[in-house]
Homo-oligomer: A and B are copies of this chain.
Amino acid sequence: MSYIAPVKDMLFVLEELSGIDDIAKLPGFEEAGLETAQAVLEESAKLCGEVLAPLNVEGDRNPSSWKDGHVTATPGFADAFRQFAAGGWQGVQHPVEYEGQGLPKLIATACIEMLNASNLSFALCPLLTDGAIEALLTAGSDEQKKTYVPKLISGEWTGTMNLTEPQAGSDLALVRTRAEPQGDGSFKLFGTKIFITWGEHDMADNIVHLVLARTPDAPEGVKGISLFVVPKFLVNEDGSLGERNDVHCVSIEHKLGIKASPTAVLQFGDHGGAIGHLIGEENRGLEYMFIMMNAARFAVGMQGVAISDRAYQKAVAYAKDRVQSRPVDGSAKQAVSIIQHPDVRRMLSTMRALTEGSRALAYVAASHSDLAHRHPDEAKRAEHQAIYEYLVPIVKGWSTELSVDVASLGVQVHGGMGFIEETGAAQYYRDARILPIYEGTTAIQANDLVGRKTVRDGGAVAKALLAQIAQTVEALKQHKGAAFDSMQKHLSLGHDALQSTVAYVVANTKRDPNAVFAGSVPYLKLAGIVLGGWQMARAMLAAQEKHAQDPSFYGAKIATAQFFAEHLLPQAVALEASITSAKGGEGYLALSEDQF
């Protein structure tokens, strides 16, 4: 099998780090304890391992194709999507009243990791559909919810997000697509949207496009953008499909990776206007889209975790199999499997530590989202929501940036074979590269982290997390041995680096915004490393507790945490130096364009 879902590690994280027992105490989640999680994860692992993972290479070699406005998905994808839909997997985290399974985001997150690890291109279709569902549930009318959400959850239809235009990528203020009111409550849309993932395909009967556009009197900039639902086929009152709407796929992109996922250019209104309906209130489109995007950003962060794990699994398998060179310590006279060589172990352990650290951080974030939605105490809900929102740009930015490095190490472990496409390691390297770009580049995430998530509350959430890290450092001191000593030392240094960075950001953003924003991505990475390292420290403490029950598993967890402490956490100090050195008025920030 090409991908085996790491159910054991996932359950460890759910139980020991993300507090699934507490989640199962929340109203409506009474059935959602560890036992349920295990059953769901094992079932999901089967579908992902047996059906979706084998199609991943096929999708790379035989991408989605466009002809005369129609897009044909990779052979096998439509059938796999039917199986995915029939199993109810689109609805895992969505409400029971719309035919979803109503499970916590925490459990859904593990399923989403598997889905993306098995087949990133395929998983993008459900990912975007999830976003459409969330936006409709939050801002749609009752009728819109009833019309669209059950069909999206059943997989009869799929959803898309239409933001980008040729001149409007990171900067949505530049959106130009027009929506003209028709007097009957409907609008006609005119414009071009690009980079629309699964914007056209043959896997479902209808495609529900959520589209950002401007009404005639809308103010300029981001405050004049509204959100519309524009289905590929209009929907009759009885829910059956009506006429073909005037939205057409004029081409799909030729991309570096995720080739099976069609990236569409959509033309709205070239034949009289694409009929759409306003979602929520006029001019609040960006706000609604952010709901979708926050869900999507978190999910893209999971894609980073997912592709890292897939790349790790492949590299480990190769390193156990490939025999080359004698051991450097002279312990054997014959060539040994390369996993015996220290540098190969270093590479594999880097891949593993980053994967496990980013997984743990993301799952912990998901549990805060569940607590934010369901905790009986309103103040607690707000507290958890603030933590979740602080973590989203970090999960998105850090997990995806590191996935590029992890996939690159995966190629390196394979040596020359890694560069040959048939080997498969190169696909992860190509696929991963989009993750730090779409749903907001790392810089966009870092802007969010600095502005909305750190400066706005004067660093309060960050400080609350730092206090928790300090408690973990204290707990580490109760243990002896090299692993605990290293973790205590480096987590403590990491804590201090994050603390002084947060203080620097809070103090300087208004005074010298160029300097702070020049350090925004390093701040995001520093936060990821320290918070991820903190989760590994918590994992280490839990593993020590249970060590005797399964020495192989828990011993590896402790060794991986130690590796994280010694090889990854030290980067925090280097990043701090980089962040705090910038002054907006000098050096590279002051060069003229011509000097580049």
| Chain B residues with CB under 8 A of A436 | 412
Chain A 562-596 interface residues, beta-carbon cutoff 8 Å to B? 562-563, 566-567, 570-571, 573-575, 577-578, 581-584, 586-596
A173 to B336, CA, bound (A): 13
Per the bound structure, the CA–CA distance linking A348 and B593 in Å amounts to 11
Cross-interface CB contact of A574 among B519, B552, B573, cutoff 8 Å: B573
Q: How far is the CA of A415 from the CA of B575 in the complex (A)?
A: 23
Q: Can you name 23 A-B residue pairings with CB atoms under 8 Å?
A: A167-B323, A170-B325, A171-B335, A173-B326, A253-B420, A256-B430, A328-B447, A328-B513, A328-B514, A329-B514, A341-B443, A342-B515, A346-B521, A412-B437, A415-B441, A418-B437, A426-B433, A483-B587, A552-B592, A560-B588, A563-B587, A566-B587, A574-B574
Whether, in the assembled complex, A146 has its beta carbon less than 8 Å from a beta carbon of chain B, the answer is: no
Instruction: Name the contact of A514 in the complex, choosing from B342, B434, B443, B521 (C-beta under 8 A).
Output: B342
Given A174-B335, A348-B596, A411-B437, 13 more A-B residue pairs with CB atoms under 8 Å apart are A167-B323, A171-B324, A173-B325, A255-B420, A342-B514, A342-B584, A343-B517, A344-B443, A415-B437, A482-B587, A555-B595, A563-B588, A570-B574
Count of interface residues, chain A, beta-carbon cutoff 8 Å: 103
A556 CB contacts on chain B under 8 angstroms: 591, 595-596
A536 at interface (Cβ–Cβ under 8 A)?
no
Please provide the chain A residues from 310 to 360 with a CB less than 8 Å away from any CB of chain B in the complex: 316, 319-320, 323-326, 328-330, 335, 337, 339, 341-346, 348-349, 352
Which residue numbers of A lie inside 8 Å of B, CB to CB? 164, 167, 169-171, 173-174, 195, 253-257, 316, 319-320, 323-326, 328-330, 335, 337, 339, 341-346, 348-349, 352, 404, 408, 411-412, 415-416, 418-422, 426, 429-430, 433-434, 436-438, 441-443, 446-447, 482-483, 486, 490, 513-515, 517-522, 552, 555-556, 559-560, 562-563, 566-567, 570-571, 573-575, 577-578, 581-584, 586-596
Q: Which residues of B contact A584 (CB under 8 A)?
A: 329, 342
| Residues in chain B near residue A591, CB distance under 8 A | 345, 555-556, 559
Contacts of A438 in B (CB 8 A): 416
- Residues of B with C-beta under 8 A to A596: 316, 319-320, 339, 348, 352, 556
Is the CB–CB distance between A486 and B254 below 8 Å?
A: no
Q: Tell whether, in the assembled complex, residue B416 and residue A343 are in contact, meaning their CB atoms are under 8 Å apart.
A: no
A517 vs chain B, min Cβ distance (A): 4
Q: Are A588 and B571 in contact (CB under 8 A)?
A: no
Complex Cα distance, B421 from A71, in Å, reads 19
CA of A489 to CA of B37, assembled, Å: 52
Contact assessment for A345 and B588 in the assembled complex, using a CB-CB cutoff below 8 Å: yes
The prevalent SS among residues of A at the interface is helix
Contact B441 A412 (CB under 8 A): yes
CB nearest neighbor in B for A320: B593
* Residues in B whose Cβ lies below 8 Å from that of A420: 253-256
The answer, among B346, B482, B566, B581, for a CB contact under 8 Å with A566, is: B581
Q: Are A256 and B588 in contact (CB under 8 A)?
A: no
The 3 nearest A-B residue pairs measured at CB:
A342-B518, A566-B581, A570-B577
Is B577 within 8 A of A419, CB to CB?
no
Bound-state Cα–Cα, A412 to B230, Å: 31
The answer on a CB contact under 8 Å between A324 and B587 is no
